[in-house]
Amino acid sequence: MPDFGQILGIRASNQHSCRVMSEVTQPSDELVDQVSRTTGLTTEDARRVVADVLAYFTETTEEYVRRRHRELQTYGARNDEIFARLGDELRHWPVRSPELSARQLRRIVYG
């Protein structure tokens, strides 16, 4: 179980920081109002829930893999099962592209 409100991170194989969402310091009032209206939560509780969800999705790939590997090992899963599951989970994880320099972008386009 993640520690809600904790900001986590991962590195992609190309050594660039690969965050799911940009680090969020304060959830938008519009989103908090929407969550409050649709769930019946107080504004304060909705703000905390939104902040927790956003913080959860700032976990990097490397940190996610390490954390999930530890969690799955705790429940007796073997490495071959763990890595297959992690691969599947990462395919569905809302990962954002790392920040790339102009040179890196040029290499993507022209090889």
Work out the pLDDT band at 97, boundaries 50, 70, 90. low
Work out the pLDDT band at 5, boundaries 50, 70, 90. very low
Tell me what the mean pLDDT of segment 66-83 comes to: 91
Between 36 and 105, the more confident residue is 36
Q: Which value, in Å, is the radius of gyration of the alpha carbons in the chain? A: 17
Q: Are 32 and 50 in contact (CB under 8 A)?
A: yes
0.85 surpassed by pTM: no
Q: How much is the pLDDT for 47?
A: 95
